[in-house]
Every structure is written in structure tokens, then in C-alpha cells.
Amino acid sequence: MAVSDAPPPRQNASHVVPLRLDIRKVIGLLALYASLVLYEFCHRFMLEHWLSDIYGYFQMYYDKGRPETYFWICILTPITILPAGTKLTNASQIIFSVFMAFVGLPTPLYFVHFVAPAAFPIAYFYFLVCFTLLAIATRIQLPPIPSPFGERGYKRLMWITVAIMIATFVYGMTQDFHLVSFAQLYETRYSEEVNGALVQRVATMYVFSFGSLFLALALMFRRFLYIAAIMVGYVLCYGMIYQKTALLAPLWLIYAYVCARFFVRDSTAKFYLALGAPFYLGVIWYLISPSTASAGANLIQYEYMGTVLFRLYAVTANASGLYYTFFQNHPHTFWSHITGVNFFLRYPYGDHTVAVEMQRAYELGNYNASFLATDAIEAYGYEALPIVALFVAATFIFLNTASRGFSTRALAVLMVMPAFAVVNIPFATTLLTEGIAFLGLYMAWMPRAWLARSHNM
């Protein structure tokens, strides 16, 4: 056998990896973007043609002199969502999607007429930065949070939690319990006989956090009798704290689970479609019969559009503009509305919340709102939006880390009620009073052996 004296072939000093473009991901992003742009234009259309006409007394207006502004809002705002991706894999992606569908996407449209044309681009820029920071945070996870419990210890923790809930409910029902109509809701809520702070705190945490946890566990272990008891728990909460959310929570939980299991799977675009479906139905109904969408015509159509398009999708989105107007002539809180901060800074509105002050100023009810209006505009102004977004983003990262290993179905059930808390309530309140921080810990501590069950819910 001859041995060659020729030198071995030269190797390339560096390995060049060809740049590959994932066409499916590009198409997925384009489809998501197109669906969000359509959603924005539908909001613009209803604001121009129905909401500003029927609900002008709520200061919902379409500024006919600034059509280009509305057009570019519809084109640019959806771009901020794209960093969150096209797949639902983290807890905060559920919350972020719900928040953007009900608040983030429509808010700049409703904000236009409140701000002078020269100042609006700056205000809108802060909104875009805020939404982009939140979208990026939905993709970030930290190393797993260690659990102080084994499986047996976690079971004990759950049974202790259930026992505390039951004991509080029994006590609360003996003190003040009434199943009243929505018309009597606020009168009963602010009566002298209403339950004390402890009952209200526990019931509120059940509605926005722990009820979802109990339901997810019941579905994971197929304990269907427990599911019935959990749903009854929401009715009991309604009779103790008189919040409409308590009575509506079972509907949202069922809707979230059914959509996640049979339609959404893990698609962000489909999730936005599911979230916007009631809104789209109202838009289509209006396009078919615009002349009957008033109180004196088709009462069923008018009630549906008023309940869904106005109350569900427009009121909270309009809040930032109303808060902005209110705080042009009233002192900002500089975050003194947050418990703990008020030990160092004087809260300027005494014993009343800003929501009550808004009622006095506009006579539109207690105007609770999301962190855009409260923790940002109420505290300092729209310039604080990126700062507040960083705190919300930190919570998103915590929830992503805590939810590692859960299926999309489980996340939809676990996060839909916390998401509505973020939509309607100041963010600092959601963490403790609504129990989102505690829910995150219970998720992080859940035995890893249980998580496989979440994929078979």
C-alpha cells in the first residue's frame, strides 16, 4: 500500500452558516399583524360611526379633522405586539394578549381627541414604548424557582388554603350575603352592613386568582364534582362582595378553556380572534343593520352592542383619555395611591379613591381603570408609561418563570382572570389584593410530576 506524500486538504478557518429565513414564521407574523390591523380598523370604524354618536356623553369622540392620525395608529400599534411571538407558551402571553385586545390596541384611538395634535405624537410614542417593553418581557424566563415543599407538603398547603377559603366564606355569609341584581349592586356594595376587609380580600383573591388555580387542578385530575363546587364558590363571592366579575368569572373560565382546547391550541393569532369574537359580531350586526342600532329601534341589537362593544371593549380603553383630562386640573398622586408608598408621600384625595373623584367630576360611575390610566397617568402623566411598563414586565417574567412546564390550556384557565384584573384595576392592587403574586408562587411550587397532567386537560 502506497503512502501519499501530498499534504492534506486545507480546512476553512471558519465555518459559514447559511442564513435561513423561516418562511412559516414570517407568514405567521404577517397573519398575526394583519388580523390586529383589521381589529384596529374595526375599532376606528365603530368609534366614528356608532360609539361617538351614542356614547358621546362618555366623552367618546372621533375627531374628523385627524383621519391620518387614526390611520397610522391602526398601522403602527399592532407592530408592538409582534415581539411577543406567534405561539402561546408563557403565562404572561395570555395576560398580554387579553390586555392588548381590551385596552392596549384601542386606547390610542380613543386618546386622540383628548390631546392636542402637536402633543399627540409624543404621547403616542410613550404608549408604543410601553407596549413593546411588555411584548418583549413575555418571551423572558429565569431559572426555575425552587420549591420549599415536596409533593406531600404541597398537598397540605393546598388543603390548608381550601380550608381558609371555606371558613372565610362561611363567616362572610353569616355577616352579609345577598344575591342582588346588577341594578342594586353599587347600593348594596357601599351599604353599612357590607362584609369586612378580611372577607373582601379572601373573596377577591378567590375570584381573580385562587378559583382559577382550583379549577385548573380539578381539570388536571378530572375531579368534576370539585368543578361544580368551584363554580358555586364564584356565586358565593358575588353574594359577599357584590362584584359583577365574580358572577361573570365562570363564563370567562369556560370560554377560555373551550377556546384553548378546541380552537386556539397555541396560536396567538387565533387567541386574538377568540378574544375579539364578541366585538366582531357586534360590528357585523351593525354593518348589516346600522339604522336599528339605537335604543328606539332594535332593543336586542342595542343592548348587545351596548353591553359588549361599549362596556366590554370601549369603556376601559377610553379611561386613559378621561384620566389625562382630569389630571390636567388636579394634582397627580405620584404613586401615593399604592399602599406603602403613602407612608412616605401624602395622598392628595383623602379617604377617596381617584375612581370616586372621577365620578364626582364626570358623573360616569366609579371609573376604575388599568395601569395605563392609574399607575402611569394618574401618578405622573403619560411620560411614566415606560417606567410603569418595566414593573409590569418584571411581573411578567416572574409569571413566565413560575409557569414553566404548564400546557397552553392550563395557562388559559390560570391566567384569564388575572388578565382581567390587569385590564380593570391598578397594577399594584392586582399583585396582592387580587392575589396574582400568590398565584405565581403556588404555580412555581407545584410538583413537577403534576404538570404532565396539564397537557391532558
> What distance in Å separates the CA atoms of residue 404 and residue 407, rounded to the nearest whole number?
9
> What distance in Å separates the CA atoms of residue 210 and residue 192, rounded to the nearest whole number?
28
> What distance in Å separates the CA atoms of residue 98 and residue 138, rounded to the nearest whole number?
13
Three cell numbers written together for 253: 373560565
The predicted pLDDT at position 181 comes to: 85
Collapsed DSSP state (helix, strand, coil) of residue 428? helix
Q: Is it the case that residue 138 has pLDDT exceeding 90?
A: yes
The predicted pLDDT at position 298 comes to: 94
Residues 174-207: tens digit of each pLDDT = 998 988 888 787 777 777 678 899 999 999 999 9
Residues 216-226: tens digit of each pLDDT = 999 999 999 99
> What distance in Å separates the CA atoms of residue 112 and residue 191, rounded to the nearest whole number?
38
Q: Is it the case that residue 97 has pLDDT exceeding 80?
A: yes
Q: Is it the case that residue 9 has pLDDT exceeding 60?
A: no
> What distance in Å separates the CA atoms of residue 38 and residue 276, rounded to the nearest whole number?
11
From the list 400, 351, 390, the residue with the least C-alpha distance to 143 is 400
Where b means 16+ CB within 10 Å and e means fewer, 273-294 reads bbbbeebeebbebbeeeeeebe
The predicted pLDDT at position 8 comes to: 54
Least trusted range by pLDDT, from 46-55, 187-196, 237-246, 328-337: 187-196
Q: Is it the case that residue 285 has pLDDT exceeding 50?
A: yes
pLDDT band at 274 (very low <50, low <70, confident <90, very high): very high
The predicted pLDDT at position 268 comes to: 97
Collect all residues with Cβ–Cβ distance below 8 Å to 89 and sequence separation of at least 6: 266, 408
Q: Is it the case that residue 91 has pLDDT exceeding 90?
A: yes
The predicted pLDDT at position 14 comes to: 47
pLDDT band at 364 (very low <50, low <70, confident <90, very high): confident
Average pLDDT of the residues of the chain: 92
pLDDT band at 324 (very low <50, low <70, confident <90, very high): very high
Q: Is it the case that residue 21 has pLDDT exceeding 70?
A: no
Cβ atoms of 211 and 234 within 8 Å: the answer is: yes
By percentage, how much of the chain surpasses pLDDT 70? Answer: 95
Collect all residues with Cβ–Cβ distance below 8 Å to 346 and sequence separation of at least 6: 336
**Mean pLDDT, rounded, for 29-35:** 96
The predicted pLDDT at position 201 comes to: 95
- Answer whether 0.85 is exceeded by the pTM: yes
The predicted pLDDT at position 2 comes to: 45
Q: Is it the case that residue 387 has pLDDT exceeding 50?
A: yes
The predicted pLDDT at position 7 comes to: 53
pLDDT band at 20 (very low <50, low <70, confident <90, very high): low
Least trusted range by pLDDT, from 86-95, 127-136, 334-343, 420-429: 334-343
pLDDT band at 10 (very low <50, low <70, confident <90, very high): low
Place of cell 365574580: 246
Supply the DSSP string of 343-370, one letter for each residue: GTS--TTTTS-HHHHHHHHH-S------
The predicted pLDDT at position 363 comes to: 80
**Mean pLDDT, rounded, for 138-142:** 97
pLDDT band at 376 (very low <50, low <70, confident <90, very high): very high
pLDDT band at 280 (very low <50, low <70, confident <90, very high): very high
> What distance in Å separates the CA atoms of residue 185 and residue 244, rounded to the nearest whole number?
8
